[in-house]
Structure 1
Amino acid sequence: MVDTRLTGRTFLAAATLAGAALVPAMANAEPAAEQAGSTLHLTVSGQNRDELPRNVVLSCHPAGGTHPNAGSACQTLEAVNGDLNQLTAGQAICNLNYQPVTYSARGTWQGRPVTFEKTYSNQCVADASTGKVFAF
């Protein structure tokens, strides 16, 4: 009986020490794929109160989510390392009508937080400036 209790206690102590040794190792481990992923919640909203905002989820690495042009949008973002503020105006001939539209993004790019919001003078200017990222 004494042998059984001693063996059980020895096993319990060994298991506790092994678990305690793993805690620092796990704390320094690489983040899981979800933590280091690239997922953005994108919104397009106009100034017209009757118009509802449009929303999609864009996932990259691999490309997916509810975004209809996920592959192209991810390529555009990869070119600027996920920094939407670095997107530059492409070539487009846009009219001068003032119909403001706001593009916003919230989420992560390769584990880094992303927050973006910018109001453009109209949809054409906005699309020319952001490529396929907000093309939904």
Structure 2
Amino acid sequence: MSRRFSLTATAAFAASLAAVAAFAPTAAAVGPFGLAPLPLHSPLQEQAQDRLTVTVVDTNVNRADGTYELRCAPAGGTHPEAVSACTRLDELAAEGKDPFTPVPQGQMCTMQMGGPATARVTGTWQGRSVDATFSRKNGCEISRWQNLVPVLPAARG
């Protein structure tokens, strides 16, 4: 009886391996951990594309004021420096920084005026909704603005 059980178990195991092999990727397509590699470009990446609307006023920079669309992955839209702006956003994402976070309440900031420029950025970045405002009314806000150049233009005071 033990021998019959052993033969039955072995046959069942072999049949299950054959069934799995029929649906598994070929050996050439399997990566080092037995998983098929993901394609370099997938429909999920298109859905996660960064799309921002940037509105800038009072920069005192010729032709910098206005409303621009910025799309990344691939870079595009009406933003005048789309490639550089997307590169900067990629750098910030790689550093794990969220450039759209406002200055914390009660933060000590130098009392300096960087000019009347203001900006609003809305849309989607890194799969999250963005609705951020920027100004140059003190040292913290100037630093925050400068961190996003060239997404925001290099404004003059």
Aligned amino acid, residue 84 of structure 1: P
Residues 97, 115 of structure 1: CA spacing in aligned structure 2 closer, same or farther, 3 A cutoff? closer
Corresponding residue SS for 1:132: coil
CA drift at 1:83: 2.5
Which aligned pairs between 1:13-92 and structure 2 lie closer than 5 A? Answer: 32-46=44-58, 54-81=66-93, 83-85=98-100
Q: Deviations over 1:13-40 (max 9, x none)?
A: xxxxxxxxxxxxxxxxx97555311000
Which residue pairs with 2:134 in the alignment?
A: 118
Q: What SS is found at the alignment partner of 1:76? A: helix
Distance 2:98 2:88 in 1: 10
- What is the deviation of 1:131? 1.5
* Whole-Å separation in 2 of the counterparts to 1:107 and 1:120: 22
More strand by share: 1
Are the equivalent residues in 1 in contact too, given 2:116–2:135 (CA < 8 A)?
A: yes
Structure 1 position 42, deviation (Å): 0.2
Task: Tell me the CA shift for residue 85 of structure 1.
Answer: 3.4
Q: Which residue of 2 aligns with 1:135?
A: 153
Gaps (5+ residues) in structure 2? 1-41, 60-64, 102-111
Compare 113-122 and 69-78 and name the one that shifted more. Answer: 113-122
Q: Distance in 2 between matches of 1:73 and 1:59?
A: 9
* Residues 69 and 135, structure 1, Cα contact 8 Å, conserved in 2: no
The two structures, once aligned, show a CA RMSD in angstroms of 3.1
In structure 2, the residue matched to 1:7 is: none
Report if the CA contact (8 A) 2:99-2:147 is conserved.
Answer: no
Q: Secondary structure at the match of 1:99?
A: coil
SS in 2 for 1:62: coil
**TM superposition shift of 1:62:** 0.3
Cα offset for 1:121? 3.5
Cα distance change of structure 1 residues 97 and 118 upon mapping to structure 2, 3 Å threshold: closer
Could you tell me which runs of 5 or more consecutive residues in structure 1 were left unpaired when the two chains were aligned. Answer: 1-29, 48-52, 87-95
Hey, what's the Cα distance between the residues in 1 that align with 2:74 and 2:99? Answer: 19
In structure 1, the partner of 2:106 is: none
1:43: Cα distance to partner? 0.7
Matched length: 91
* Counterpart residue number, 2:109: none
Give the structure with higher Rg (CA): 2
Q: Is the 8 A contact 2:68 2:78 kept in 1?
A: yes
